[in-house]
Structure 1
Amino acid sequence: MINIGIVAHVDAGKTTLTEQMLYVCGVIKNPGRVDQGNTITDDLAIERQRGITVKASTVSMQWQGQKINLLDTPGHMDFIAEVERSLEVLDVAILAISAKEGVQPQTKVIYNALKRGNIPTIIFINKVDRVGVVLKELYTDIKKDLEDSLYFINSVDAEGTRLASVTDDLNFTEMKVSNQESVALLDDQILITLLVENSVAQDKLDQVAQTLFLKRQIVPVLHGSAILGKGIEPLLNLVVKWGKAVSQASLSARVYKIDRDQHGARRCFVRIFGGELELREVYPIYFKETTFKILKMAVFNGIKPVNCEKAFAGDIVIIYSDRLEIEDIIGEPSLDRNHFSIAVPTLKARVNDQDLAMRKAICDALILLTDEDPFLEFSIHPITEAIEIKIFGVVQKEIIEMQLLERFGIETSIQNPDTIYKERPVKNSTVYRYMYRDGNHYAATVGLKVEPLPVGSGIIYETLVSYGELKKPFQNAVREGTEFGLREGLKGWSLTDVKVSFIYSEFNSVDSTPADFRKLAEEVVKLAIIESGTEYLEPILEFELTVPQYAIGRAISDILKMRGEVNEPVINKERVLLTGILPVDTSKAYEAEISDYTGGNGVLITRFSGYKVVDEKAK
């Protein structure tokens, strides 16, 4: 078994490629089309109406006797959380690039994430039949913007025409030379052979390239036209020939997606990295010190899940459970995978409600949606009591409005989002609260020390109280109370870049409960924050802005007005590359402005880069 995912910028042809792979493997009788709203993986009404993928979909197929689980992921940046969770369970990623549009903003974001996740990646150059395609120019851009170590598997005859066809013969001598150079730079034996004999046998070159591919050191490149069904079989052949499922002996599985079936049953999508899962058995949830029992389980067989008694390493299963959550690990973490993050939501929006009945319905619906997408972080504002959610952008806002209407029958609107700021303590502070003294009615004593950390450090918690002095359940309660108390600072935003130390406690063996310590710790950390004071942190984006030379003055002026920072411009022929950082708040609508003043010739690529201190006047 092998698990693959198709990732790409919007409109690069991911879903069409998925349809063709299912068709070639005999899973479906006819490939669907996005423009006709009849695709298999985009099965939500919202997806077919908007023509975009919103949720990652999983299907399976058989090719040359091997089972392939395939994940079709969203392409729009507003749904990057779905992509992020999907990447963590893949054995191989297929990065689709439009031959016409080339390397686009999200192409770079996703490829960088694949590199950080050490995921073997195949590049599939799609739409080679489009008029105006010049593949040599695209290769140059891929090497410059994505990856220099490419290995060409096939080539194209009559590129840029409807007669375009894919051939196993490498048409260009430079392709063959490029392959040899890419491998020789990474393998000493191939280098020596090339220097001595001036050539390398193709089968030997392929063998070494496959090894380098699995080590994430080289990227194979294929060509095709998904809409015309060209280049599909070579892609499938490479997947089963070069791909290899990640597996280990010990039990390890990760929950990467949660949804509801047509009857409302909660489905948890789980990738098994090691060991086996069996019906009616009890399994541990890593780090939660709890267990759950599998009462119903299914594996993928084509486009529909089929109930099963046992599932094995390498497969993806659906577990019907109310106990599991996204990112839960069954057993222990995979030895091959580290959690990584592409982005975090930097916007917060208010959901409008008209009366108590609608308010309850909205809250009930958002509880389910947040269960399926934890990044939403549905909450009630403690002062205004407004219903709030976190989002990545305006498109996601519109999709959630549609989901509320179609899934839950709630017709409402979501206000334009505001930037999510954070707070950071200004100075050290220490607060003690003693049981039954000075208004403390809890049977608990807690002493906490709060210290500011450098920007980007996050939250660090440590306990200096031994388990001999205070047992683990009470210690856990103090930590939970502290974390809850850090959710809202003096200015209404959550705290970060702070170290909290649990330094003192007293315990009453008769009256004390974990709840006492949890509630008191929340109060104590809030008092410590008041004593420390806080400052604003605002979210920052790293950017790459490419504009025509004539627009460089306008671009730099705009960046400085937005309180951004810009590095030395890089001039390449008629275009200029600007890099630097931009505040999220001031640059929300800038992409549209760029398109306006460059006549559509400007490209802005951004990536979340963390937070920095901002003057309250600037905010």
Structure 2
Amino acid sequence: MKRIVAGIIAHVDAGKTTLSEALLYRGGTQRQFGRVDNGDSFLDPDTLEKQRGITISSHQASVTYNDLALTLLDTPGHVDFAGQTEQVLPVLDYAILVISATDGIQGSTRTLWRLLKKYQVPTFIFINKTDVVGANPLKVIQALQSEFSSACLPFTEPLTTDTLENIAMADDNVLNSYLDSGNLKDKTIRQLIAERKIFPIYSGTALKLTGIDDFIAGLSKWTIEAPFSPNFQARVFKISHDNKGERLTWIRVLGGTLKAKAEILPGEKANQLRVYNGAKFTVQQTIPAGDVGAITGLTSTFPGQGLGKARDQPLNEIQPVLSYAVKLNGVDPHKCLSALRELEDEEPHLNVQWSDPLQEIHLQIIGEVQLEIIQQLLRQRYGINIEFNQGNILYKETITSKVIGIGHFEPLRHYAEVHLLLEPGKSGGGIKFASDCSVDILSHNWQEQIMTSLHNKEHRGVLIGAPLTDTKITLINGRGSIVHSVGGDFREATYRAVRQGLMMLKQTGQCKLLEPWYHFRLTIDPKHVGRAINDIQQMAGTFKLNSDNSNSSTTVITGTAPVTEMRKYAQIVRAYTHGQGQLELTVMGYQECHNAKEIIANAHYNPTADLANTPDSVFCSHGAGYPVNWEQVPSKAHVLD
């Protein structure tokens, strides 16, 4: 029997969970067709999901159709929980992208398509709600072919000659073979789908089970089971806690077999193996390659982590852009911090931090719906009632030129010197670390201490103290002492080297402040276009009028704008269009801050006074250590580059 893991993804209200319910109902997994609006859907078992009518975290279900064993992973549709969706994508064989026949492609649909491309997930498309008044499946198909790929093709059995020709055009070799033989083998079509050269489209109404059987037949016919390695490897895609507080590590086994009681990580064993179907689970002694399950007993796992022979998968496409401080309202800060740490374990993007100087808890989020969910989770799960402040934009910093930063740490009976090359990295790439230093200069052990130190710290910029990003840091030189050097010495020298290099770049104006920007899509009446363009210009945004819009009753304006300027604009649009305008916002990443001078001036950040991130070094003379200002460190360094 062919085994496939498929994730169902969609923009909010496209009918994603309803499609999941329909697939499970037709496969006999459940006897009753659950509905989101009734609060009895099989794949939204959590109390908050039932209350809100939305999926907040991914859920697993299994269903069998003849010779196809399908594991479904239902993912959140709301953009605030897109990080949960991103975590699931690397473990999928296929994705099912659901699009409403009335709403068409939305901003979050574009985000999902970008994620599917990044993780190279073969994709089936289901156009839902085709019977609703105003539905236009043909228009949706044309938009998919125009915006996403011309290889988004309707699949209706038997495949027509036109469809076969369009499929063949997706690959030159396949086209030549088709022109010679006039025939396309099913095996060839399956391979093209698996290689993301073809994206089959099906349509129907999940709520009425229309088109579901055809879609199931398509999944059965056109999917391929993935090959697996004989050696154990698995990938973590979710962390959660059950109703008894047990920590669960959700994994997909990508090779070999996972056995109960096996040591997965040093000192951490798989105490129990669970295979979930909705809210219920069965305990198994093994989970074979290809299957999905949850493990108890692991404490240090995280989404994207590779187990066994699998490598870690960075999950950095979806990033939080807002920061909030907690208003404790008399709540014990230690109790609140502990609860938020557990939520951070489940959603790493939260990045919960305790500010000692301010005696405040800070956390990072993607959007305000996520903030409301956090409040409710704290109240329902932990009995904690808190509020948040108005929130701030999360800024980042980067560099625009190369520099060698030097850190020296030599109080009495300690010694370490580290030289690091800092250079601009790829936009959106975060911080990358490398070593280009001979073991003849620095032993392997010392280099490992330096690289570990680089990885273990969130490095801060010197403009406003925001996190450093889009930078490559390479170890190029250094010195230690067999007699005096210990691990902590290299840690201190390493951190000082990063900051010293940043201060040198700041001195020459080569540090840059970044802020998050939105990609927006504004649909309004033509009479409001002048107002909208003026607003966008005032917000330092860019814009483009949709010149080929066939619907003359509305105008579409697309463009980019800073999050800090546009985050509240949806309310303004609703006001001046009397509820008729629609604004879609998608975080597009970080770009240069539009009002950097103002932000830097208001921050009043003094990098040399930040003792936890000092750029100065410590040297030794006459048996005593003494501080050296960062500007003078290169002239006093013991190693020449």
TM-score relative to the length of structure 1: 0.86
Contact 2:442 2:477 in 1 (8 A): no
| Structure 2 spans left out of the alignment, 5+ residues | 600-641
Alignment of 1:132-143 (within 5 A): 132-143=134-145
Q: Give 1:86 shift.
A: 1.0
- 1:431 alignment partner in structure 2: 406
- Report SS of the residue matched to 2:388: coil
Contact 2:153 2:201 in 1 (8 A): yes
Measure, in 1, the Cα distance between the counterparts of 2:406 and 2:152.
58
Contact 1:73 1:83 in 2 (8 A): yes
- Report SS of the residue matched to 2:494: helix
Q: How many residue pairs align between the two structures?
A: 585
- 1:298 alignment partner in structure 2: 274
The answer on 1:453 being equivalent to 2:429 is no
Query: For residue 325 of structure 2, what is the amino acid of its counterpart?
Result: R
Measure, in 1, the Cα distance between the counterparts of 2:34 and 2:41.
4
| Segment of structure 1 superposing worse, 10-19 or 180-189 | 180-189
Contact 1:349 1:418 in 2 (8 A): yes
- 2:571 alignment partner in structure 1: 592
- 2:494 alignment partner in structure 1: 521
Contact 2:59 2:278 in 1 (8 A): no
The answer on 1:558 being equivalent to 2:535 is yes
Partner of residue 448 from structure 2, selected from 476, 479, 499: 476
Contact 2:189 2:222 in 1 (8 A): no
Show CA shifts across 1:124-160 (max 9, x none).
1111221232332232222223332233234xxxxxx
Partner of residue 165 from structure 2, selected from 137, 158, 181: 181
- Report SS of the residue matched to 2:37: helix
- Report SS of the residue matched to 1:277: strand
- Report SS of the residue matched to 1:88: helix
Q: Give 1:318 shift.
A: 1.3
Partner of residue 466 from structure 2, selected from 488, 493, 497: 493
Contact 1:485 1:523 in 2 (8 A): no
- Could you say if the C-alpha distance between residues 263 and 485 of structure 1 is closer, same or farther in structure 2, counting changes exceeding 3 Å? closer
The answer on 1:125 being equivalent to 2:127 is yes
The answer on 1:333 being equivalent to 2:306 is no
Measure, in 1, the Cα distance between the counterparts of 2:203 and 2:194.
20
- 2:389 alignment partner in structure 1: 415
Contact 2:407 2:493 in 1 (8 A): no
- 1:42 alignment partner in structure 2: 44
- Report SS of the residue matched to 2:295: strand
Q: Give 1:24 shift.
A: 1.8
Show CA shifts across 1:418-437 (max 9, x none).
1100123577363332422x
Contact 1:485 1:522 in 2 (8 A): no
Alignment of 1:219-230 (within 5 A): 219-230=199-210
- 2:326 alignment partner in structure 1: 351
The answer on 1:370 being equivalent to 2:347 is no
Query: For residue 581 of structure 1, what is the amino acid of its counterpart?
Result: T
Q: Give 1:348 shift.
A: 0.8
- 1:383 alignment partner in structure 2: 357
- 1:271 alignment partner in structure 2: 252
Q: Give 1:278 shift.
A: 1.9
Query: For residue 559 of structure 1, what is the amino acid of its counterpart?
Result: I
Query: For residue 218 of structure 1, what is the amino acid of its counterpart?
Result: I
Q: Give 1:245 shift.
A: 3.3
Contact 2:7 2:89 in 1 (8 A): yes
Alignment of 1:30-429 (within 5 A): 30-154=32-156, 176=160, 178-187=162-171, 204=184, 206-249=186-229, 250-283=231-264, 292-300=268-276, 304-320=280-296, 321-333=298-310, 341-355=316-330, 358-425=332-399, 428=403
Measure, in 2, the Cα distance between the counterparts of 1:506 and 1:94.
55
Show CA shifts across 1:162-187 (max 9, x none).
xxxxxx678xxxxx454133213125
Q: Give 1:468 shift.
A: 4.7
- Could you say if the C-alpha distance between residues 29 and 539 of structure 1 is closer, same or farther in structure 2, counting changes exceeding 3 Å? same
Contact 1:446 1:502 in 2 (8 A): no
- 1:173 alignment partner in structure 2: none
- 1:444 alignment partner in structure 2: 415
Measure, in 1, the Cα distance between the counterparts of 2:272 and 2:501.
48
Contact 1:544 1:579 in 2 (8 A): yes
- 2:615 alignment partner in structure 1: none
| Segment of structure 1 superposing worse, 423-432 or 108-117 | 423-432
Measure, in 2, the Cα distance between the counterparts of 1:186 and 1:12.
28
Identity %: 30
- 1:164 alignment partner in structure 2: none
Contact 2:436 2:475 in 1 (8 A): yes
Show CA shifts across 1:186-235 (max 9, x none).
256875687689xx67xx46554323211211111212222122222222
Measure, in 2, the Cα distance between the counterparts of 1:140 and 1:218.
15
Contact 2:234 2:253 in 1 (8 A): yes
Query: For residue 279 of structure 1, what is the amino acid of its counterpart?
Result: A
Query: For residue 293 of structure 1, what is the amino acid of its counterpart?
Result: K
TM-score relative to the length of structure 2: 0.83
Show CA shifts across 1:444-502 (max 9, x none).
31233463526726424333443455444543332343452614645231122434343
Contact 1:12 1:96 in 2 (8 A): yes
- 1:11 alignment partner in structure 2: 13
| Structure 1 spans left out of the alignment, 5+ residues | 155-167, 171-175, 285-289
